[in-house]
Each structure stands twice: as structure tokens, then as C-alpha cells.
């Protein structure tokens, strides 16, 4: 089920999905990513699994830096781009 833009969970789902995508592209495990940021392995699991919908921009920024990508890339909804 796709989250609607007006639903506050929408952005968390997009960011979670993109963190997982870029982590895998970099060939990192969740544990390896956790070692690169000041957050625990369980936090990474919760974010990627979309179990935790209250992470901050600081968390997202740290993860983007650890992945070596621009922050805005984590906010792009590729499914939305395919529909246009």
C-alpha cells in the first residue's frame, strides 16, 4: 500500500526506502552503516523497516553523509516520478 502525500507517514516511508536502497548500493550491511553513524544497529533496522516514524533530520543527514550521498536524494519518491 502506497502512502498518500498528505499522510504524515509518507516522507518517513520514502526516506526509509531510500536509505535501504543507497546502503545496499554501497554494499553495506545495516550493522556496517550503524558503525559509520552515531546511532545503534537497532535504530538503523527500525528506520529501514519503517517501524520508527520519528527520526530527525539530523539522523537522516548523518546517514546521508555516511553513505556519501547528497541529503536530498533520500527524499526523492522514485515511484512518484514513474507515475508522471
pTM of the model: 0.86
Spell out the residues 6+ positions from residue 12 whose beta carbon is closer than 8 angstroms to its own: 50, 53, 55
| Domain 9-79 classification at class level | mainly alpha
pLDDT digits (tens, 9 = 90+) for 2-56: 556 667 788 999 999 999 999 999 999 999 999 999 999 999 999 999 876 789 9
Per-residue pLDDT, 1 = 45
Query: What is the spatial distance between Cα 50 and Cα 70, in angstroms, rounded to a whole number?
Result: 21
What residue segments make up the domains of the chain, in order of their start? 9-79
Amino acid at each position: 500500500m502506497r502512502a498518500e502525500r498528505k499522510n504524515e507517514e509518507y516522507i518517513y516511508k520514502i526516506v526509509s526506502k531510500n536509505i535501504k536502497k543507497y546502503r545496499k548500493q554501497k554494499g553495506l550491511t545495516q550493522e556496517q552503516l550503524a558503525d559509520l553513524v552515531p546511532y545503534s544497529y537497532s535504530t538503523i533496522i527500525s528506520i529501514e523497516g519503517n517501524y520508527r516514524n520519528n527520526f530527525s533530520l539530523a539522523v537522516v543527514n548523518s546517514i546521508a553523509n555516511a553513505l556519501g550521498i547528497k541529503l536530498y536524494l533520500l527524499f526523492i519518491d522514485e515511484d512518484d516520478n514513474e507515475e508522471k
